[in-house]
């Protein structure tokens, strides 16, 4: 019976037939496993009264040719990167599987009137403030990330641990071609399919859906509330039957400040609490096998603001939110979200106005979005969406700006087409119709003067290479 000696020297000789250099570096990790396997084989051979060779010798570990080929096949399966059809590449480090992901993104846009910020849009500027058009080319939405997976906690049957680190280049920058890193995600989680614990920065619990727009902010400040923040979170799913599930989520989260420095926001002595209930049902009733999901979510917290004259106030922030996902057919889907609350700049609501510097109190707002998605072919998708953010007019005087300018209404209607030339390469074209209302407060007369609404049309072409 042929034997194959597994040592570093013999591995190098066998390279020409099957093994690459990576096997040498990792062989030490498998010696105990191989030894256990060989001992088991030897004992089995003795029981079966079959002569078996010595398994362990000082110069190495001996395997039969069949055993070695089986080991080699298992090793190559675990260490060989997936093919292009697998859509992922991963490598091993001990017990961890590390998968890089991301995309290279270029966006070229033209807007008939200026918007903020230009490379992407959160609201339209009033022509009274800036009456020029604009053209932008932006690669800073390029995204990079790592997913890390490993075994779970000992004693917790079926658990697994995961982690993620993700960033793009939309951080603060001094010139257009010098983007800086922006941390998007950094978390670790442990779950068993029904219960999940998460610690780190991830998308917040409330309002988890997002409109499928090419705009980088995905509807933030114009109806789609929610952002990413640090949190301690627990999820629990209850399965009533194959087609009925209830998901409960609860989190203690960090403060996120989006108000202008004119009102100097700061965290209070309490965290922001978030929670969500989501009921999914009906997936077995439709040919497409997708469930209908209705979610209710909320957040509650307190923030400290320092107004002019060192006037400090602790003001609450809260929201009530609804999310709804309806897969109408295999190709046609409908999604919507609604929000209502006050001091919502922390979750990208109120058109980025949480408090009013003149009233020295919170701004209430409501809004949301609704969209239809049509998957015309496997490669072509179209989306149609309407988004709106409407602060209460009685709450808005000078907003949170130091120039007494405020926004009291904003909406956007967009339609786009996304075409996947391959699993990696996508191009998309989108047309946005924006409208944002502005007003100016006169501190001498204490009167409000409406400004000309910003009504730009924005055309955006995106090229994205995903890996």
HEC secondary structure over 225-278: CCCEEEEEEEEEEEEEECCEEEEEEEEEECCCCCCCHHHCEEECCCCEEEEEEE
Rounded average pLDDT over 180-202: 96
Q: Is the pLDDT of residue 355 over 50?
A: yes
Contact in structure between 274 and 204 (CB atoms under 8 Å): yes
Residue 18: the pLDDT is: 40
Q: Is the pLDDT of residue 20 over 80?
A: no
User: What confidence tens digit (pLDDT) does each residue in 193-221 have?
Assistant: 899 999 999 999 999 999 999 999 999 99
Sole residue written with tokens 């849009």: 121
Q: If you classify domain 103-139+193-466 with CATH, what class do you get?
A: mainly beta
Residues 6+ apart with CB under 8 A from 16: none
Rounded average pLDDT over 334-341: 98
DSSP element (H, E) containing 340? strand 332-342
How far apart are the C-alpha atoms of 237 and 251, rounded to whole Å?
A: 15
Residue 401: the pLDDT is: 83
CA torsion sign for 364, 311, 451, 225 is negative
**Domain limits, the chain:** 3-79, 103-139+193-466
Residue 257: the pLDDT is: 86
Residues 6+ apart with CB under 8 A from 174: none
Rounded average pLDDT over 342-363: 95
- C-alpha pair distances (Å), 134 with each of 120, 247, 429, 458: 11, 45, 17, 9
pLDDT band at residue 53 under the 50/70/90 scheme: very low
| CA-wise closest residue to 415 among 460, 455, 454, 366 | 460
Q: Is the pLDDT of residue 449 over 80?
A: yes
Rounded average pLDDT over 414-436: 97
Residue 94: the pLDDT is: 86
How far apart are the C-alpha atoms of 161 and 150, rounded to whole Å?
A: 5
| CA-wise closest residue to 369 among 328, 320, 335 | 335
How far apart are the C-alpha atoms of 241 and 279, rounded to whole Å?
A: 12
User: What confidence tens digit (pLDDT) does each residue in 79-91 have?
Assistant: 544 444 445 578 8
User: What confidence tens digit (pLDDT) does each residue in 245-266 have?
Assistant: 999 999 999 988 888 777 888 8
Tell me which of 45-54, 149-158, 201-210, 309-318 is least confident: 45-54
Residue 45: the pLDDT is: 36
CA-based diameter of the chain, in Å? 105
pLDDT band at residue 14 under the 50/70/90 scheme: very low
Residues 6+ apart with CB under 8 A from 243: 281, 282, 283, 284, 285, 291
What is the residue-averaged pLDDT of the chain? Answer: 84
Distance of CA 402 to the CA centre of its chain: 33
User: What confidence tens digit (pLDDT) does each residue in 272-313 have?
Assistant: 999 999 999 988 677 778 899 999 999 999 999 988 888 899
Tell me which of 68-72, 249-253, 288-292, 430-434 is least confident: 68-72
Tell me which of 102-116, 284-298, 318-332 is least confident: 284-298
How far apart are the C-alpha atoms of 449 and 405, rounded to whole Å?
A: 10
Distance, first Cα to last Cα, the chain:
46
Contact in structure between 130 and 114 (CB atoms under 8 Å): yes
| CA-wise closest residue to 367 among 383, 384, 344, 346 | 344
Percent of the chain with pLDDT over 90: 67
């Amino acid at each position: 019976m042929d034997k194959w000696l597994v040592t570093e020297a013999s591995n190098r000789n066998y390279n020409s037939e099957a093994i690459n250099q990576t096997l040498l570096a990792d062989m030490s990790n498998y010696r105990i496993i191989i030894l256990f396997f060989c001992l088991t084989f030897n004992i089995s051979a003795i029981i079966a009264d079959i002569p078996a060779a010595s398994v362990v010798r000082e110069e190495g570990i001996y395997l039969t040719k069949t055993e070695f080929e089986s080991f080699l096949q298992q090793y190559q399966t675990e260490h060989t990167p997936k093919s292009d059809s697998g859509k992922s590449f991963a490598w091993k480090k001990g017990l961890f599987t590390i998968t890089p992901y991301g995309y290279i993104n270029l966006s070229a846009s033209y807007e008939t009137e200026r918007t903020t910020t230009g490379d992407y849009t959160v609201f339209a500027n009033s022509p009274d403030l800036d009456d020029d058009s604009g053209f932008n080319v932006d690669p800073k939405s390029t995204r990079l990330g790592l997913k890390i997976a490993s075994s779970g906690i000992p004693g917790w049957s079926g658990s697994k641990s995961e982690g993620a680190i993700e960033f793009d280049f939309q951080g603060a920058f001094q010139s257009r071609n010098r983007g800086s890193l922006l941390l998007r995600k950094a978390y670790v989680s442990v779950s068993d399919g029904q219960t999940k614990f998460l610690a780190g920065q991830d998308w917040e619990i409330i309002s988890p859906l997002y409109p499928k727009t090419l705009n980088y902010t995905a509807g933030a400040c114009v109806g789609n509330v929610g952002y990413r923040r640090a949190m301690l979170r627990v999820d629990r799913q209850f399965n009533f039957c194959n087609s009925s599930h209830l998901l409960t989520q609860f989190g203690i989260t960090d403060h996120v400040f989006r108000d202008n420095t004119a009102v100097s926001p700061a965290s209070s002595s309490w965290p922001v609490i978030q929670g969500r209930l989501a009921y999914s049902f009906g997936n077995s009733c439709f040919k497409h096998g997708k469930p209908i999901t209705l979610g209710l979510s909320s957040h509650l917290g307190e923030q400290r603001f320092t107004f002019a004259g060192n006037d400090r106030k602790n003001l609450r922030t809260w929201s009530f939110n609804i999310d709804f996902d309806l897969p109408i057919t295999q190709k046609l889907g409908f999604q919507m979200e609604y929000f209502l609350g006050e001091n919502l700049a922390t979750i990208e609501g109120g058109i980025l106005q949480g408090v009013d510097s003149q009233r020295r109190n919170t701004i209430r707002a409501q809004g949301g979005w609704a969209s239809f998605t049509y998957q015309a072919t496997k490669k072509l998708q179209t989306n149609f969406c309407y988004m709106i953010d409407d602060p209460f007019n009685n709450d808005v005087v000078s907003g949170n700006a130091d120039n007494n300018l405020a926004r009291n209404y904003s909406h956007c209607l967009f339609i786009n087409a996304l075409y996947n030339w391959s699993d990696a390469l996508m191009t998309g074209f989108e047309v946005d119709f924006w409208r944002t209302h502005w007003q100016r407060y006169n501190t001498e007369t204490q009167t409000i003067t409406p400004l000309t609404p910003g009504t730009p049309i924005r055309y955006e072409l995106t090229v994205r290479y995903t890996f």
